[in-house]
Structure 1
């Protein structure tokens, strides 16, 4: 495409992005509706008061019937292939109303047929075996699934018999010990550990000293859960997690708890007009920082001074100012949304830091930036990589260090060190330099033989093991290319980064599809998100032929399909989602990078 044509496309896309600003002056985006979210929310409302919530329940059930896949199953998004977990939870929710409603019964029968094709017999104890085998030692999702099934009468009256007991009493230990315990759930699932653990304890027949310990711990565990309840009532602002907690506590006999009152109110408030629920209320901080990054230096042509000021003030206002009650981190981090259930993490924090450094004169935000930098320094794992929420939790996949977050933190720390060097004492400078060196070493060790890196919170539904080396590699390359310019005074580090960039670049070039697109890996159908992010990463190396083929594919695809979203996001417990602003911000970033380099 000619530069003039790309300028026209950039203007059109940036106008669309501008129209997506909410009334408060930042971007909220829109997450895909989730059959799993609908199923668990419907069950929670049913157990709370089926009559009082009849309208919401009926709308949710109608949405499930209208969005069933052709094979009878349910996927995580309406665009996703069916999977056992979402289908089983949907079957359980439908089971509450199948005998009373013929349409629900019909939907459930089609769903039963799908589950049979997956060797899941909903009338036998084999259900527990299938789910536990699927998730192995990680009980974060398997035990809540089986618990809801049992409460909904699946597979029968003794559904709790084969459900593992979650050790909710361990949550009473000081948080600093959590990482030393072999907990069966990830760090962000402590509310589920407590609530689901309590209802399993109440429903399952067990004896012995552990039962006596748990009986004594129950009240204290509920108090702990109540203390971590955000003002909004939504744990992590996540519909499934909040619903699992509510339905568990209701069935455990804790019906009068403020946790249930606020949780049910949260579920009612977050239901969409069409009867569905997303998996989380939104990713407003994330999509706002992605939007700022996508516009780059061109933001002054797209956003007015007032609009930029509102975005700046919003991002500053959602920086965490206290020790966070959920993961115990110090002040200074950012979570994924402005709502109170958000938790500071190692992707939104560097994202916010980098966006703010674009939007504000650096001297006006020194304190906020250095507190943010300190937050990042404290979260680094011993292996040099960065986890999402909690330092030192490495036993289960979603608590481990990962490449894309680590690359993002390298860039943020390098930028802070470059800008605020004069504000840091010698010890602080050394801390930054050490952290960057350790992170680069982590990325060197975790770059695959073929040059790729794997992301943690993003995947591809069509690749082996659902991994997305294209996303992970594209992001790390982009971060590295920018960080390299800031680390020019590091004679040892820069050559190491350049070697990794060369290997990663070679990987991206090799896995480009014949039609010019990129999917999650070689031979995988292309998407706007993956193609645009690959182009953005390659823009720095002047790979003209490959980039122009990619841009031509994007143009053709956009004309035929618009800004079609791909379910590349992986949420808690490996739930897929798509986000309305992902293709838009990625496409803008790709075009901007190409125009600016040519």
Structure 2
């Protein structure tokens, strides 16, 4: 169980003397002895550009430097002694609701946590009785069903009050039959839904060799880690019998029929029917062999820390699968897995909740990059400690990605422990950070960078783009199987990840003449929308994708005056809000016509500013207004508020509020702005 301070960053104890040293970052003061000069704006007035820079400096650059100073002070205050940063990763209430269901199925008492969980769940209920996928969402059916069921399991009164309001919302929106597959699977385990109506996932799938067109390694890393244990659960079809008072039969609407909207869907429906027949009449020897193989796969994929894949779904389903196979809670694998679950939980004045994932490597790399961009010397002891910690986190062992890539390992993961699943996005940002440090002051730096860049470039897919976890993992037809109604069964290359890779390649000395860079540039240009923006896979949404693509293209050598760059710049400028900021809601994934529209946020404003700065737009009124928005909204402690979700897990289905985003990206943008003006 972890706790956070009020700023949303994991609370920690620090050595006050070291923090005081690290706060001397050289912004607006003389540099400390032995440190290079901090970023300064040009004092020359021989050109219109420099005269304008000098004019801006004389008016409000001191305010920018003060904002950078406050933000940097904040980051050094909350840095962990080991050198990393770690903030809360907030999602919707299903993660905590499923924690309640998991503990019930495993027979783990949580009476002492009951009131804190109830407090958290009720705190996030909407006025209409629902629970949503993100702040401002008007309500989502499956999320509401799971929260309702969790509250009943916790003993909440289903009479007049919160549960009655939730029940009305559920019935108005089709009831349990209209919910997603995973919600139905949770309910089926409690005998609250018919297993016969749950889509099949034959456990024999794990026996198919990787050479076949269809096998588990064609699934995305997260879907693979979930599908293997779930295939055991679906094979066993457990039924945990509840007392009538805890059942949810009241959530059924008499008639609901989902139409099959294509020949492909109808074909998969036929396959599902065939699979169900085979489930009733399995080849016993093959079934036993498949269950044993799936069991061994689960055990083999567990981290020493107890995690599976570093994310909640594989963790909870692996525990359930092993439990149904007879593993006692005292078994070492189970005990480690349960501890990992608890390590994902947070309890504070807002209640108890479980995170879907934890993000120390991502948070550390972004925080360090923000500080470096803002003018902090890489020779500062606190940042040297970060560099050493990041080097220690490099993954030098094999993983699932090797089924399509024979390059030696060298990437980084998102979490503390996820050795089988390094990802391209984290690796690119870490390499961008390490590239700023001197090899004379960081042992192992050059070898880490060399291995990392080799691995990063090798993860390019055949279409020229980079995905998050695997090469050539874009078999979109898998999203059409009945099991895949969250449309997240594959991991295709995306503009935002590709842009991140091209950016670090450019920063490390590569240019468009490199074959991988040339293919990456072509991939990005082919993905650009007609209005000039790019869709964002891992951040909300078109603002995020456009920022990432712009940074990558210009870093690798694309002319800032080229048509594709100017179109993107125009799009960003055209979507600035009247208050000077930028914002975009998660609704833009379902309704693309809402792209670039929404209340201004600190993180999205920073992304837009950095996208424009990549194209040398530091003198534009749009950038000035954006910077003013950030300055105006910074709090006295150096942080920013941000209630909206700006991170994306699965578009249309799962969103994230990274508590680090609202602070690291504004600092990064302000630092880049000062740097651009000084060039």
TM-score in terms of structure 1 length: 0.83
Asked whether 1:94 is paired with 2:151, we answer yes
Partner of 1:148: 186
Asked whether 1:394 is paired with 2:474, we answer yes
Partner of 1:336: 414
- Closer, same or farther: CA 286–497 of 1 in aligned 2, 3 Å: farther
Partner of 1:190: 224
Query: 1:65 Cα deviation (Å)?
Result: 2.8
Deviation string 1:519-565 (CA, Å, 9 cap, x unpaired) is 12344222111111101121222352111122223333445994324
Partner of 1:424: none
Which residue, 360, 374, 377 being the options, matches 1:284? 360
Which residue, 665, 668, 672 being the options, matches 1:586? 665
- SS at 2:533 equivalent: coil
CA radius of gyration, larger in: 2
Query: 1:355 Cα deviation (Å)?
Result: 0.5
Query: 1:49 Cα deviation (Å)?
Result: 1.7
Partner of 2:579: 515
8 A contact 1:565–1:580 mirrored in 2: no
In the TM superposition, 1:298-377 aligns within 5 A as 298-300=374-376, 305-324=380-399, 330-340=408-418, 343-361=421-439, 365-377=445-457
- SS at 2:465 equivalent: coil
Partner of 2:203: 168
Asked whether 1:75 is paired with 2:75, we answer no
Query: 1:212 Cα deviation (Å)?
Result: 6.2
- SS at 1:458 equivalent: coil
Deviation string 1:225-275 (CA, Å, 9 cap, x unpaired) is 110011121222223431233234434555566543322222233322245
- Closer, same or farther: CA 579–327 of 1 in aligned 2, 3 Å: farther
8 A contact 1:31–1:278 mirrored in 2: no
Partner of 2:233: 199
Asked whether 1:502 is paired with 2:528, we answer no
For 2:569 and 2:380, the matched residues in 1 are separated by 37
For 2:118 and 2:325, the matched residues in 1 are separated by 25
Which residue, 238, 247, 251 being the options, matches 2:311? 238
- Closer, same or farther: CA 66–541 of 1 in aligned 2, 3 Å: closer
Asked whether 1:403 is paired with 2:495, we answer yes
8 A contact 2:131–2:140 mirrored in 1: yes
For 2:216 and 2:135, the matched residues in 1 are separated by 36
8 A contact 1:327–1:389 mirrored in 2: no
Partner of 2:339: 265
For 1:179 and 1:4, the matched residues in 2 are separated by 61
Which residue, 480, 487, 507 being the options, matches 1:415? 507
Partner of 2:675: 596
Deviation string 1:543-592 (CA, Å, 9 cap, x unpaired) is 52111122223333445994324311112574211112101111112211
Partner of 2:526: 445
Higher relative contact order (CA 8 A, sep 6+): 2
- Closer, same or farther: CA 336–223 of 1 in aligned 2, 3 Å: same
Deviation string 1:40-88 (CA, Å, 9 cap, x unpaired) is 111111111243x332455324422333222212224566543223222
- SS at 1:145 equivalent: helix
- Closer, same or farther: CA 93–244 of 1 in aligned 2, 3 Å: farther
8 A contact 1:35–1:77 mirrored in 2: no
For 1:562 and 1:332, the matched residues in 2 are separated by 35
Query: 1:481 Cα deviation (Å)?
Result: 2.6
Partner of 2:555: 482
Query: 1:178 Cα deviation (Å)?
Result: 7.0
8 A contact 1:27–1:287 mirrored in 2: yes
Number of matched residues?
Answer: 545
Asked whether 1:55 is paired with 2:118, we answer no
Query: 1:219 Cα deviation (Å)?
Result: 1.3
